[in-house]
Amino acid sequence: MFRLLKLKPPNGWNAVGWELAIVTLGVLIALGAQQAMESLNWKREVAGFRDAVHDEIETNLHSYPYRAVQKQCIKRKLDELQAWLDGWRAGRGVKLSGPIGVVASRVIRTSVWDSTDPGVIAHVPRDERIEYSFLYSEFANNEVHRLDERETWFNLQAFDGASVLDHQDQMRLQGLITRARLRDDRIDNNADRFLQRAADKTGLHPKPVSDPPAYDSRLCGRILPAA
């Protein structure tokens, strides 16, 4: 018949209890120190990400005022093109006296946002993370408008030096003028709303770049012969 052995630590149960408490405390301290170190590392990663993404956002924001410099030239050129087209429709067609030009724009950069470790993004405060996502969604939307505006003005340039506008040319030109006006209005309206939100929600403002693309001086030139 088996008998249960009665365990009796050499230094008594109190000593065993103290040893277990010391070991447990040591483990808790080690875990706490590890968590504190990880938290500090994530804070550093988030701070580095925040500096980089703020710089990218502010650089992108400047694409709006950069384009706005051409606003008056865009309006005047489209008005002249419309007057030129109306003249041909009324039987008073003339040849353009100068080149049409094209609207200059800046490419939106997203390399910082696209290449950031998801783990870093996850440690950014929720409201801040949502606002960054909104900003980059707006940048993507603006890129659609920018590229379509650019293509429209390239197509308008096909009329440089035109001496005759047949019915098909007139229909095509009217479509391009209408399309260019639509993009101009959309970009302007989005810019006003977007820049205000960026300032209110994130405190970020447009930051000029050191080497922006050159403006097309032809855009501001007259294209109708002097009356």
Q: Can you tell me the mean pLDDT for 73-84?
A: 97
- Asked, for residue 1, whether it belongs to a domain, the answer is no
Residues 6 or more apart in contact with residue 146 via CB below 8 angstroms: 63, 105, 108, 187
Q: What is the mean pLDDT of the chain?
A: 88
- Asked, for residue 2, whether it belongs to a domain, the answer is no
- Asked, for residue 165, whether it belongs to a domain, the answer is yes
pLDDT of 14 reads 63
The model's pTM is: 0.80
Given a contact cutoff of 8 angstroms between Cβ atoms, the answer to whether 65 and 206 are in contact is: yes
What digits encode the pLDDT tens for the residues 112-147? 999 988 989 888 999 999 999 999 999 999 999 999
- Asked, for residue 227, whether it belongs to a domain, the answer is no
What digits encode the pLDDT tens for the residues 167-199? 999 999 999 999 999 999 999 999 999 999 999
- Asked, for residue 192, whether it belongs to a domain, the answer is yes
**Cα gap 136→97, rounded to integer Å:** 42
Count of the separate structural domains present in the chain: 1
Q: Can you tell me the mean pLDDT for 98-123?
A: 93
- Asked, for residue 225, whether it belongs to a domain, the answer is no
Provide the residue range defining the domain that includes 173.
13-220
- Asked, for residue 4, whether it belongs to a domain, the answer is no
**Cα gap 139→121, rounded to integer Å:** 19
Residues 6 or more apart in contact with residue 108 via CB below 8 angstroms: 60, 63, 139, 140, 142, 143, 146
Say how many CA atoms lie within 13 Å of 142 toward its Cβ. 27
Among 101, 95, 98, 102, smallest CA distance to 223 is for: 98
Q: Can you tell me the mean pLDDT for 208-219?
A: 93
Among 172, 65, 138, 151, smallest CA distance to 103 is for: 151
